[in-house]
Amino acid sequence: MKKMDRLMAIVMALQQGSQTASMLAEKLEVSRRTILRDIQALSEIGVPLAAASGPNGGYSLMEGFQLPPLQLSPREALCVLFALQGLTGYTDTPFNVERWMVMDKIRSILPQDTARQINPLLERMEVEVPKRIYRIPHLELLLEMAASGSWISVFYQSMNHRRSLVVKPLKIFAAHGFWYCDCYSMTHGEERRLRVDRMRDITEIQPPAEEAVPEANRPESPVIHIRAKLTYKGMLRVERDEHVGERMEQINDECWLADFHLPGSEWEWAVQLFYSLGLEAEVLMPDALRSEIRHRANQLLSRYEQTFAEEPKP
């Protein structure tokens, strides 16, 4: 990044609120010393800066100072349009109409030269989002509840249960074509990850009395340590998973080792994952997981053996 572009970026960052030199250095990917030199340069050209010391200190702009509207560079326009283009891959979002309107507005104000530079790139770039068909009209309400720190009552349908839960939404995010909600579940006494499209009848409620219990005193879910060998095909099937993807080590051209930990609440997910992988995976530990996969395989074998036994012989 050129120095002048960096100076403009610092001013724009300070327009959003106070920033420390370390925060600016991390954002702009330069050293703290470089930021301090840039702050000095801005002061010398008349940008009204204020500095405060202490834990809540940092640099800020004097009240009332604003930069005039700035034109996006070709790379900045490409960055914004590419991100918005990725959002259009989701069937439902809180911004169904806005995502298209923003893209059209940006395109309409871009100089023709800039548009000619970025259009061929956008046509060849894509954020891969699996196609899902669902509607989540309560997503916006859920975002509001997470932002306000509210507790809610929600009816949730998982793979194994259908019941009402009392939860506190912590974070909403999109992945694999779905929207998820990380929350603290008072019903389970631990943090859980819920699929938003499986949530119904969301109602704000008063905080439960148990919320006052310190986090350190809440019971912890047991942790499962899993080690498994994967074939190349097995590795491809799980490499994008948040639990396993960053915990795989290649042993040779045909074998990968997955070594990771899961909260006890994800036991059913782990069983289903490795059972579905079949011969593309071999669980090395824990023995309980090996035993459960063997039990399910025997159940399936028994079903088909019974079917063949009942068929009339020629």
Residue closest to 145 by CA, chosen among 103, 189, 183? 183
pTM (whole model) above 0.85: no
| Separation CA 298–CA 291 (nearest Å) | 10
Q: Are residues 20 and 35 in the same domain?
A: yes
Q: Are residues 255 and 292 in the same domain?
A: yes
- Strand (E) or helix (H) holding 182: strand 178-185
pLDDT for res 162: 85
Q: Tell me if 181 sits within 8 A of 196, measured CB to CB.
A: yes
Residues 6+ apart with CB under 8 A from 7: 38, 41, 42
Q: Spell 111-130 as b/e; 16+ CB within 10 A means b.
A: eeebbebbeeeeeeeeeebe
- Partnered with residue 42 across adjacent β-strands are none
In a domain, 157, yes or no: yes
Domain that holds residue 79: 74-123
Residue closest to 288 by CA, chosen among 226, 245, 239? 226
- Strand (E) or helix (H) holding 190: strand 190-195
In a domain, 314, yes or no: no
| Separation CA 122–CA 220 (nearest Å) | 46
pLDDT for res 219: 45
| Separation CA 192–CA 265 (nearest Å) | 8
In a domain, 313, yes or no: no
Q: Which long-range contacts (CB under 8 A, 24 or more apart) does 154-162 make?
A: 154/194, 154/199, 154/200, 154/201, 154/202, 154/203, 155/199, 155/200, 155/201, 156/194, 156/198, 156/199, 156/200, 157/198, 157/200, 158/198, 159/268, 159/272, 160/268
Tens of pLDDT along the chain (314 residues) come to 788 878 888 888 888 888 888 889 888 888 989 999 999 998 888 888 888 877 677 888 888 777 666 677 788 888 888 888 888 878 788 777 788 888 888 888 788 888 888 888 888 888 877 777 778 888 889 999 999 999 999 999 876 678 899 999 999 988 878 889 999 988 888 888 888 989 999 999 998 875 544 444 444 457 889 999 999 998 888 876 766 766 788 888 889 998 888 877 788 888 998 999 999 999 999 999 999 999 999 999 888 887 666 666 65
* CATH number of the CATH domain containing 197: 2.30.30
Tell me whether the omega of the peptide bond preceding residue 286 falls within 30 degrees of 0, making it cis.
yes
In a domain, 69, yes or no: no
* CATH number of the CATH domain containing 8: 1.10.10.10
Overall number of domains in the chain: 4
- Partnered with residue 253 across adjacent β-strands are none
> Angle of helix 267-277 relative to helix 287-310, nearest 10 degrees?
50
| Separation CA 29–CA 34 (nearest Å) | 10
Q: Are residues 227 and 212 in the same domain?
A: no
